Structures are given as C-alpha cells and as structure tokens.
Amino acid sequence: MKFITSVHAAAVTSAITAPNSLDVKSLSSVRNVAATLAYDAMSYYKGNLSAPDSVAMGDLQDPYYWWTAGALWGAMLDYYHFTGDSTYNDVVIQALLAPTNLGIQQSYMPAEHEFEEGNDDLFFWGSAAIAAAERNFPQPNTTLPSWLDLGANVFNQLASRWTTQDCGGGLLWQIYASNPNGLTYKNSVSNGGLFQIAARMARATGNDTYLEWAEKVWDWSMDIGFIDPESYHVYDGAGIDTNCTKTNPASFTYTSGIYLYGAAVLANYTKKPEWKQRTERLLDGAGWFFTPPNSTTKIMYEGACETVERCNADMTTFKGYLARFMWQSTQMVPSLRDKVESLLTISAQAAVRTCTGTETGRACGQKWYVGEFDGLVSLGSEMCALETVQGLLIDGAAPPLEAKDIKTVRDTNWPAQESYTPSPSPSQPTTKRGIAGDAKPTESAAGARLNVEVKPLTVVGFGIILATWGLA
C-alpha cells in the first residue's frame, strides 16, 4: 500500500457543501455535509514528517492530547463506514499502525506518549482498532497483529491493571507515576472503557472470558456508585483516600455513551433482557444532556462546562462520543432507534446551524443550543458535528460483524471515490508540544486474542479530576 504524505493531497475538491444547508431527509445532503465536516476536522491533522512543524504520525498538535487523535481515527473509521468515502482510509491505517502509536508491545502503550497516556486514553485507541476489526477494515501490514488482536492487546493491558487494593476493584485514572494526579482516583471513563472493550471483544470472538470481565466491571461500577441505580446517570469517579465512598457527581456526555454502547453490545450478544433494560435505562439517564438552559428543544450540550464557558480542549470533543455510541447502540438494540433518532436529528440540525464561522463561513461552534456560531472554534466542534451528522446514515451501514464473520483483510484497493467528497479548507495548524524524556514504560506482556487470563496488578489508570480542570 502506498501511504500518502498529506491528508488534503488525497482529497478530491468539489463544490463546497455548507454544513448549515443540511437536509436530514436527503441522503445526498447528509453525505455532502458529512464530507465537509470530515474535511474540516482533518484539517487539524498534520502528520507529515517531512513538513516543518509537523506532528508525529497519527498525533495532533497542541492543545490536543494523544488520546484525541485515537478518537479522531475512530470517527474517521465511522465516516468511511457510513458514507463509503475512502479519502482518508490510508491515513487512518497509517496512524493506527504507526510504531509511535502502537508501542513495542503492540498495545497502544508507546514510550513516546508515556507522559500523557492513561487508561482512558488507551480505550480510545483500542476502540478504534476493534471498530476496524468489526468491519473487516483492511490491515495490510503482515508483520503486525490483526485489528482484533490489537483490540485484545488493549484489553489485556487494561485488565492487568484492575486492582482490588482499594475500593474493591476498578482501574485507577493514570498509568505512570509521571502523572501523579491520577494515582489516587478511580474514574468511570477508564472503567467504562474496559467494560465496553470487554463487551465488544466477547461479541467479536465468542470468548466468554471477556463477557465475565464485562459483567465484573459493570457490577463494580454499580456497587461503587459510578452509575446511579435510580437515574442511571454516570458520575465521574471517586478517590481511593475514601475507599471510593465519596463519588464525584460531575457527569460528562462521553462516559454515559461508553457505558451505553457496552450494555447495548451485551444485550445483542447475550440476548438477556436485563442487558436490554440496562441499555434503555442508560439512554434515559443520558437524557439530561439534552436539556440545555433556556431552551425547550432537546439539543445535546455538555452540562458540566458549556454554560459557564469552561470547556477545555478535551471536553469540546465529548458530545461526539455520546452521539457515536448512541447511533451505534441502535444497531445492537433496534428498539432504541426512535428515541435516538429523535434526539440526534434535532442535535444534528442544531450543530450545523452553528457552522458559519471564520473566513471559511463554515467553522462549527461549540454550543449548539445558542442557535448560531458562538465564536468557539476547535477540532472538538468539528468532530462533534461530524459524529452527530454522519450517524444519520446508519440505516445504510452494516452492523458490527460477529466472530464467525470477522477476518483479516489485506487488500486496500478502495472503491472509486464519489464526487460528493471534500471541500476546500483553511491551512492546517502546525504546532505540536514536545514530549519530554525518552523513558520506556513498563508493560505487561500482551496476550493473544484468546489468552485473556490476566492477574490483577496494583498499577494505575486515566480520567477526569474536576479540581485539576478547575471545575471542582
């Protein structure tokens, strides 16, 4: 396969489709708008090592951390799956298989990102690899594991750090001592990530050891109070200094989405009514993210930070992951479809109404509920709009494959591109923070796909501490 050196060199320029022209009843309109949003999101990526001020392969420039890059590649896998536009596929493969992202153990634990990687970061890269496996997305490098084996390696990394020393179980926020803020905090996004990956690996392999892990993480999350037993709101986490008895009540969109999709996958895989009921209740619990202030319309918003304009770069991306996993949950539990479609169609329309900013006239804003561009431009705003809009095409997309249908595909001869793809974009951002030091992380051996017997270790993991972000 011939790797390309510039994302936008691969794009076919055609007529610009303004995002705010979206017609949700027209497939061509949805695809054209998704193409524009994808193009503008990818304008934030500068993984061309031969260019001045470029970033490492598959990474993003400041202020975006490495985990956001993994989330971006997951969004672009969805983009191809929903639209059939292969413009970015070679770039996605290049990013997901780059040694600086895979790491020596081929488990997305690279030394290059030791100083910014935690357990929730690992989830987003692992989620992308599993999504590639679930769609038989080509993996052309015969010297590297398959997508499914890469997903198994991520699972084994996460499961190896499950510790019962405090709180009766769970993953800590951070992995390395270089990130001390997370060494005393267990959070829902890291544990929800392990839950979802275990659920998806169970369905993708038929190996019920993964199912047992998913059930264990779910039970612990409920017992410790990360998921409210009445409202099914998902709370942020708790400190080990109180043995996790004082739950941080902050809630973020993406954590609800992560647990939601994990439960939906288990409902589909096990056929057990309790998982369907849990999925329905998690969707109900996420409903408060569609109740913005001073609005009677159910539009998604990030309640913890948008109304006070205190969203950092990470938080600007969160709504997109809830949208992603809500749409995908409808393929696992079709009875969710009407409710999800109602909520996300309104939010998609609200999102693109904000996409009128900057000199391009199409940059998306952050706060959809204000009804117009709010001046807050970011990769997160583009990703959130993209994930919400492209999900409107889900009826034409195959559901994730199961064990009997997953195979390793090498051929990357993509179908001929269609003319609805990209539009011109402003120049790409160029700066990237340096990563200090070259210390090698200590990694557990990554097991083969079916070798998921791991021993709990007293190691640590990644999420959100509100005080660190000034929101406590």
Cα 381 to its chain centre, rounded Å, is: 14
H helices of 271-364, where? Answer: 273-285, 318-332, 337-353
Please, which residues have CB within 8 angstroms of residue 432's CB and are 6 or more apart in sequence?
Answer: 46, 53, 54, 55, 56, 59, 60, 61, 62
pLDDT (0 to 100) of residue 431: 31
Instruction: Give me the tens of pLDDT residue by residue for the chain, a chain 472 residues long.
Output: 333 334 443 343 345 789 999 999 999 999 999 999 999 999 999 986 666 667 889 999 999 999 999 999 999 999 999 999 999 999 999 999 999 999 999 999 999 999 999 999 999 999 999 999 999 999 999 999 999 999 999 999 999 999 999 999 999 999 998 887 889 999 999 999 999 999 999 999 999 999 999 999 999 999 999 999 999 999 999 999 999 999 999 999 999 999 999 999 999 999 999 999 999 999 999 999 999 988 778 999 999 999 999 999 999 999 999 999 999 999 999 999 999 999 999 999 999 999 999 999 999 999 999 999 999 999 999 999 999 999 999 999 999 999 999 999 999 888 755 534 443 433 333 333 222 222 222 232 233 333 333 333 222 232 332 333 333 3
Cβ proximity of 238 and 186 under 8 Å: yes
Can you give the residue ranges of every domain in the chain?
Answer: 26-405
pLDDT (0 to 100) of residue 54: 79
Cβ burial 241-260 (10 Å sphere, 16+ → b, else e):
eeebeebbebbbbbbbbbbb
The CA–CA distances, whole Å, from 243 to 164, 238, 239, 411, 456 equal 11, 8, 7, 51, 18
The CA–CA distances, whole Å, from 45 to 197, 296, 426 equal 26, 37, 12
pLDDT (0 to 100) of residue 268: 99
pLDDT (0 to 100) of residue 414: 80
Residue by residue, DSSP assigns 14-68 as -----GGG--TT-HHHHHHHHHHHHHHHHTT----TTSTT---TT---TT--HHH
Q: What is the CATH number of domain 26-405?
A: 1.50.10.20
7-57 tens-digit pLDDT: 443 343 345 789 999 999 999 999 999 999 999 999 999 986 666 667 889
Q: What is the mean pLDDT of the chain?
A: 86
- Tell me the C-alpha distance between 386 and 398, whole Å: 19
CB atoms inside a 10 Å sphere around CB 466: 15
CA angle 370, 371, 372 (to 5 degrees): 100
pLDDT (0 to 100) of residue 50: 67
Report the predicted TM-score, pTM, of the whole model to 2 decimal places.
Answer: 0.87
CB atoms inside a 10 Å sphere around CB 410: 10
- Tell me the C-alpha distance between 118 and 189, whole Å: 11
pLDDT (0 to 100) of residue 47: 86
State the DSSP code for 308.
G
